[in-house]
Chains A and B, each alone.
Chain A
């Protein structure tokens, strides 16, 4: 009997405390600053057994006026134009976004906005609420945001497709990408990326040095051994101890070749017999060389 009385007293005491201090005992948190005058008036928003009906919100915040006027009838269009989208909501369920009871900062009481609340026309017309980013990439693409972005997040989950870039400027890679800061991708590439790279992938590239000169085991060396400047169109074969003009002069003069600057014109690889041109091509080249030499001598006279 004594135990039952103790239980009864404890029960009455706890219920009494709840009734005496209902907000401290039950309220899930302070309302934000603008609603602070409602802090002790739960029934201003809540309806017993009916949750938080929209009518209680709309009685102060008229949907057609959100973003245009404050609840005190002050013009608020200069505050934030973005909130005008409220009139486009198909189902005006306030607490699906506004939770309140999260503290004094109004941003804390905002749940993540879900685009599904918009009607279909406005949902697909992104720029009716969002402005197009002012960067190089977005100034070159079409207005079809959904081809890259989803309404779930701005960060793209789809692979970017270069076809979205206007055709006239699609090959202007440096408008969006930076040229790699290595000595190979120097100014000499001249924004001509697609000569080696595709629009789908950076790697693999189609560049093949063998088209210019085959790098065999004796020529497996650093680029700047031959390409001494940043201009990869120029080169020299006399950058290593194996080759020097004195070594090759007599043999080439004997054949009628006096130009020692453009070795790969004839030599395709380190093998001296691997000549790029056929026999008649070599003859033509030598004749041309002789002609140039003769012209030069006559000019000197």
Chain B
């Protein structure tokens, strides 16, 4: 288990997720300390715009655009979506009274988690299983023995792949909640 998926691949996921939460708290404290909380309102606009830009990768993946290198666009997608999410979380703060914005914030956090699963756990866990299998093969184990040795890793891997399949619906829900929030703000300000 020393070199297993959880320690090697889940740990970076926790680090990134914690970074997002801690960055949000830190930025919120700065806004309150300097009495510039009004900036939080504009971070909502900026965060939404940043996340929308990150969707260029999604357009490329679905062949709706022809420019750009997928790997580079994926990197932009990851970092811009994370940065935009931090801005939206600062914008939301804890000053929410109605249900819809709470749902939007909740689904945003789930969406970031889902994205990080894709980025770290699935990518790196695949690599880890490959490396372990190669190592075990070099040490002279039969295919059956190798399958037994990596059994739990494989089970974990399958579970994680299902996570990836829900990333799109979660993003869709986030978009829907955000849209209703934006329309209600435009209507009633």
In the complex, residue of chain A having the shortest beta-carbon distance to the beta carbon of B187: A48
Residue B159, interface by CB 8 Å: no
The reply to whether B98 and A46 form a contact with Cβ atoms under 8 Å apart is: no
The reply to whether B98 and A10 form a contact with Cβ atoms under 8 Å apart is: no
Residue A133, interface by CB 8 Å: no
- A interface size (C-beta, 8 A): 23
- B interface size (C-beta, 8 A): 16
Please report the C-alpha to C-alpha distance between residue A235 and residue B54 in the assembled complex, in whole angstroms: 86
Chain A min CB distance to B174 (Å): 12
Residue A29, interface by CB 8 Å: yes
Contacts of A46 in B (CB 8 A): 187-189
Please report the C-alpha to C-alpha distance between residue A46 and residue B96 in the assembled complex, in whole angstroms: 19
Please report the C-alpha to C-alpha distance between residue A50 and residue B186 in the assembled complex, in whole angstroms: 9
Contacts of B98 in A (CB 8 A): 23-29
Known A-B contacts A25-B98, A28-B98; the reply to A7 vs B186 at CB < 8 A is no
Residue B169, interface by CB 8 Å: yes
Residue A14, interface by CB 8 Å: yes
The reply to whether B176 and A11 form a contact with Cβ atoms under 8 Å apart is: yes
Known A-B contacts A26-B98, A28-B98; the reply to A15 vs B180 at CB < 8 A is yes
Residue A122, interface by CB 8 Å: no
For B174-189 the 0/1 string (1 means CB < 8 A from A) is 0011001000101111
For A41-71 the 0/1 string (1 means CB < 8 A from B) is 0100010111110000000000000000000
Please report the C-alpha to C-alpha distance between residue A49 and residue B99 in the assembled complex, in whole angstroms: 22
The reply to whether B97 and A101 form a contact with Cβ atoms under 8 Å apart is: yes
The reply to whether A26 and B184 form a contact with Cβ atoms under 8 Å apart is: yes
Contacts of A24 in B (CB 8 A): 98-99
Residue A18, interface by CB 8 Å: yes
Contacts of B160 in A (CB 8 A): none
Q: Which residues of B contact A (CB under 8 A)?
A: 96-100, 169, 172-173, 176-177, 180, 184, 186-189
Q: Which residues of A contact B (CB under 8 A)?
A: 7, 10-11, 14-15, 18, 21, 23-30, 42, 46, 48-52, 101
